Amino acid sequence: MFTRQTGWMLTLLLLVSLAAVPAAAESAGEGVAITVYNSDLALVKDVRMIDLERGVQEVRFPDVAQRIDPTSVHFRVIDGAEASVWEQNYRFDLASTSKVLEKYLERDIDIVTEDADLFSGTLISFDGNTVMLDQGRGNGPIISLNADKVSYVRFPSLPAGLISKPSLVWKVGAESEGERLVEVTYLTSSINWHAEYVGVVSAEDDAVDLAAWVSVDNRSGATYTDAKLDLVAGDVNRARAPQDAMVMRAMDAKAEVFGGAPEFAEEELFEYHLYKLDTPSTVADREIKQLTFFPSTGVTVEKVLEFDHHYGTDVRVLLEFVNSEEAGLGLPLPAGTVRMYKEDSASDLQFIGEDRIDHTAKDEDVALLMGNAFDVVGERTTVARRKITDRVREEDYEISIRNHKDEDIVVRVVEHPYGYWTILNETHTYEKKDASRVEFLIPVKADGEAVVSYTIRYEY
């Protein structure tokens, strides 16, 4: 690979290529829409104008995604006389200095150095440091040029098979000449999106001012200028064999708008959720674009201190809420990271933790793990085990919660029984959540300790 001269040399190569490639009909852009899924997939709908002659001809459709799935391409005329695709090729062998040099081994080229000296001959080898020319057509002399001293290389023409942009190339048959407006639809990978939530917790820890962004990460190898942008949240199945790009179709749905001045509207799509941006947006290649998903909204939350011995002696801190209209939300929430902040005594925001949520339907519970409480410690002790019969045994447990804070707290103690069980002789009331989870709510005085004791009987 050449160093600082490579860009200049490549520019010349591309100028040569434009002059050397045989003439073919080429499309002119009219509009593009992309639907991005949160599973490394996007559906691209590209509308362009093409001018066709009567008969069979080659049509070049450049600037498609480098990560296109060529088997997913769908071509249709949406305005104008009919035309049919007889053959389709996806060409992605892009021209570069090294590739053109490789194609020109054993062929004649001209090299101009930075001192304006011209050297002509047959290229016999090249690497990142030197270029070797045979100036005597097999009889010498052989010269070796320092690549750093090369100003540019002149090639007679662009070698066959190399192009400057990833392109779809069709053989198209048309019964009449004239312009057609065509839509080309295809799937591409290496483009993704996810939600990002940012919340500010109230001073009393009972509410969060929550806002959301979406981040679109485009590494597909194409830029979508002024695109109509749709986002789909949900787990879309991909078959091992290639699928037609047009399988997904919107079902009848009623659009629901977020907020008073929305940027996204939400509707149901099959068993997923579709979010439509109301203005065009350019999604550039190798760019992460962030867009407001919904503006700040107040959400009622509960801070929970939870001790579960599966996590050692740590007492975990969670923020829990119901994704309901009554709590301040009631929206289908796409998967993403939720970051929380809180003001300190100087009214400066400080980061207090983050967690990730999965796709969450409205009216479902959300629990966000913020971290571990610094001043609260839990400890679980197995006090005794007794064999009552061959099919019955009992175990005694003691859980202590030590509160080093200067305020009273309530800790949720979680236990995980298994099999057939019955709790006996408990010191505190518990709630059975399911067959393998029970919860005790334990008040603990400031700078104090509380102890939970219970006996559990297992039957086999």
Q: What is the pTM of this model?
A: 0.74
Number of domains in the chain: 2
* Final residue before a domain boundary, out of 154, 176, 192: 154
Going by pLDDT thresholds of 50, 70 and 90, the confidence category of residue 238 is confident
* Final residue before a domain boundary, out of 97, 121, 154: 154
CATH number at residue 141: 2.30.30.100
Residues 63-92 have a mean pLDDT of 92
- Residue 326 has what pLDDT? 96
Residues 407-426 have a mean pLDDT of 97
pLDDT per position as a tens digit, 200-211? 999 999 999 999
Task: Give the span between the Cα atoms of 135 and 444, in whole angstroms.
Answer: 92
Torsion angle defined by CA atoms of residues 364, 369, 374 and 376, in that order, rounded to the nearest 10 degrees: 40
% pLDDT > 70, the chain: 87
Q: What is the mean pLDDT of the chain?
A: 87
Going by pLDDT thresholds of 50, 70 and 90, the confidence category of residue 297 is very high
Task: State both tokens at 78.
Answer: 């949406």
- Residue 26 has what pLDDT? 62
Task: State both tokens at 250.
Answer: 């919107």
CATH number at residue 381: 2.60.40.290
* Final residue before a domain boundary, out of 118, 133, 154: 154
- Residue 342 has what pLDDT? 97
Helix (H), strand (E) at residue 10: helix 6-20
Going by pLDDT thresholds of 50, 70 and 90, the confidence category of residue 247 is very low
Judged against a pLDDT cut of 50, whether residue 227 lies above it is answered with yes
pLDDT per position as a tens digit, 266-286? 899 999 999 999 999 999 999
Residues 435-441 have a mean pLDDT of 97
Domain membership of residue 384 (yes or no) is yes
Domain boundaries, position 429: 375-459
Domain membership of residue 111 (yes or no) is yes
Judged against a pLDDT cut of 60, whether residue 373 lies above it is answered with yes
- Residue 152 has what pLDDT? 84
Q: 264 or 410: which carries more pLDDT confidence?
A: 410
Phi, psi of 15 (to 5 degrees): -65, -40
Domain membership of residue 94 (yes or no) is no
Least confident of 74-88, 242-256, 264-278: 242-256
- Residue 99 has what pLDDT? 77
Phi, psi of 184 (to 5 degrees): -115, 125
DSSP helix/strand/coil, 150:
strand
Judged against a pLDDT cut of 60, whether residue 254 lies above it is answered with no
Judged against a pLDDT cut of 60, whether residue 97 lies above it is answered with yes
pLDDT per position as a tens digit, 4-51? 444 334 333 333 333 333 445 666 667 999 999 998 999 999 999 999
- Residue 212 has what pLDDT? 95
- Residue 5 has what pLDDT? 42
Least confident of 38-52, 84-98, 110-124, 325-339: 84-98
Task: Give the span between the Cα atoms of 39 and 235, in whole angstroms.
Answer: 7
- Residue 128 has what pLDDT? 75
Domain membership of residue 202 (yes or no) is no
Domain membership of residue 137 (yes or no) is yes
Least confident of 93-97, 155-159, 386-390: 93-97
Domain membership of residue 320 (yes or no) is no
- Residue 14 has what pLDDT? 33
Q: How many helices (DSSP H) and strands (DSSP E) are in the chain? A: 2, 32
DSSP E strands: which ranges in 39-115?
41-52, 55-62, 74-79, 83-91, 108-113
Nearest to 30 by CA among 51, 11, 59: 51
- Residue 370 has what pLDDT? 98
Domain membership of residue 171 (yes or no) is no
- Residue 252 has what pLDDT? 33
pLDDT per position as a tens digit, 136-194? 877 778 999 998 888 888 888 777 766 678 889 999 999 999 999 999 999 999 999 99
Domain membership of residue 229 (yes or no) is no
